[in-house]
Amino acid sequence: MAEQKTVRFIIERQDGPDAKPYTQEFDVPYRPGLNVVAALMEIQKNPVTVDGKKVAPVVWECNCLEKVCGACMMVINGKARQACCSLVDKLDQPIHLAPARTFPVIRDLLIDRSVMFESLKRIQGWVEVDGTWEVKDAPIQNPYTAQTAYEISHCMTCGCCLEACPNVGPQSDFIGPAPTVQAYLFNLHPLGKFDAPKRLNALMEKGGITSCGNSQNCVEVCPKKIKLTTYLAQLNRDVNKQALKNIFNH
C-alpha cells in the first residue's frame, strides 16, 4: 500500500494570556475537501506532534463550520480568515496557523474578541423599538435599500477586518471597520434612522471613523465580501454633514 499522503501544520501555540508563544508541528492525513477545522479535529483525535510527542490538543473556537458564525477566525498562512472554509487544497503547504494577535490571546488559537461586541454597544447597533409587543405594521421599505441592509447584516463579527486593518490593535483605539459599518446598517432602516445622529456622533468620537486610514485591507479580507470601504466612505460623508449640523444648528 502506498504511504498515506499527509499535510503538515505548523501551529503557533501559547499556554495562557501571558505565556510565551511556541510552535508545534503536526501531520494530518490528507483527504479531498479537507479544511483547517477538520484538520484540527484530526489533531484532537490524535494529538501527537511530528516528533512523536503526545501533547494537549490545540485549543481553538468554532461553532457552525458553515462560515456564518464567525467563531473560527485565525491567521492562516499569514492572513486572517475563517478556518472552516479554508480548504487545504487551496493553501500553500506547510500550513501555518496562528492566533489573531490583534486581540488578546486566551490560549493557542483561542482569542478574546469581546472588544468587538463592546464596540457594537458604542455605536448603538440596534433599532429602538418600543417593545416586542404588537404595535402596528412595520413600514414598507425600498427593496433596494433592504438589499444593501441585507448585505451589511451578513457581518458575523469574525474580526478578519480588524486583524488585517493596520490601524486596529493595542497601539490604537480604533473600533475597526466591522462595528463602524454596522452603524450604517441601522441608519438605513426606516425606524433606525431616527437615531442616525446619535450613531454618527458616536462615530466622531475618539477611535471612531476618523481613525480609518484607508488601507482598505478590510474589504479585501472580508469573508462575507461586504463592501466595507464603500460604506465607510458613505459614513464619512454622513459624518461630515452631521458635523456641519452640529456646528450650525446649535
Partner 1 sequence: MAKKPEKKIIVVGGGLSGLMATLKICEAGSKVDLFSYCPVKRSHSLCAQGGINACMDTKGEHDSIYEHFDDTVYGGDFLADQLAVKGMVEAAPKLIKMFDRMGVPFTRTAEGVLDLRNFGGQKNKRTVFAGSTTGQQLLYALDEQVRRWEVKGGVKKYEFWEFIKIIRNKQGVCRGIVAQNMNSNEIVSFPADAVILATGGPGQVYGRCTASTICNGSAVSAVYQQGAELGNPEFLQIHPTAIPGTDKNRLMSEACRGEGGRIWVWRKNPETGEKERWYFLEDMYPAYGNLVPRDVASRAIYKVVVHMGLGMHNPNRVYLDLSHIPADYLERKLGGILEMYGDFMGEDPRKVPMEIFPSIHYSMGGIWVDRMHHTNIPGLLASGECDYQYHGANRLGANSLLSATYSGTVSGPEALRVACSSEAGDALTQEEMEKARKECVDEFDKIRNMNGSVNAHQLHHKLGDVMYKYVSVERDNNGLKQCMVELNEILKEWNDIGVTDHGTWANQEAMFVRQLRNMIIYAMAITKSALLRDESRGAHAKIVLDTDYPDMDPELKERIEKKVGKFHFDPETHRAMDEKGDLVFMERDDKKFMRTTIVSFNQETEQPEVSYREFEHSLIKPRLRNYAVAKKE
Partner 2 sequence: MFHTTFYLRRLHSLVGLLILGGVIFEHIFTNSMAIGGAAALNGALAMMELIPHPIFLAIEVCAIAVPLLFHGIYGVYIALQAKNNPRQYGFCRNWQFALQRWTAWYLVVFLIWHIGYLRIFTKGITGTPISYELLHNLFTSSPITTVLYILGMFAAIFHFCNGITTFCMTWGIAKGPRVQKVIACLSTLLCIVMCLITLVFMGSYFVM
- For 174, phi then psi, to 5°, come to -65, 130
CB atoms within 10 A of CB 69: 16
Using CB under 8 A as the binding criterion, the count of chain residues that bind partner 1 stands at 72
**46, 230, 240, 246: residue in contact with partner 1 (rule CB under 8 A):** 46
Site string for partner 2, 159-188 (x = CB under 8 A): -----x-xx-x-xx-x--------------
Q: Are strands 95-98 and 73-76 parallel, antiparallel or unpaired?
A: antiparallel
Q: Distance (Å, rounded) from C-alpha 183 to C-alpha 178?
A: 9
Taking the alpha carbons of 177, 184, 119, 248 in that order, is the dihedral positive or negative? positive
171 binds, among partner 1, partner 2, none (CB under 5 to 8 A by kind): partner 2
16 binds partner 2 (CB under 8 A): no
Closest CA to 235 of 190, 191, 178: 178
Contacting range for partner 2; rule: CB under 8 A; set: 9-17, 64-72, 149-157, 224-232: 224-232
5 binds, among partner 2, partner 1, none (CB under 5 to 8 A by kind): none
Please measure the distance between the N-terminal and C-terminal CA atoms of the chain and give it in whole angstroms. 82
Q: Distance (Å, rounded) from C-alpha 183 to C-alpha 7?
A: 42
167 binds, among partner 1, partner 2, none (CB under 5 to 8 A by kind): partner 2
- Give the residue with the Cβ less far from partner 2, 7 or 202: 202
Q: Which residue has the cell 464603500?
A: 230
Contacting range for partner 2; rule: CB under 8 A; set: 83-91, 178-186, 188-196, 218-226: 218-226
161 binds, among partner 2, partner 1, none (CB under 5 to 8 A by kind): none
Q: Could you tell me if 243 and 205 are in contact, meaning their C-beta atoms sit under 8 angstroms apart?
A: no
The binding site for partner 2 (CB under 8 A) comprises: 78-79, 164, 166-167, 169, 171-172, 174, 201, 204-208, 210-217, 219-221, 227, 229-230, 232-240, 243, 246
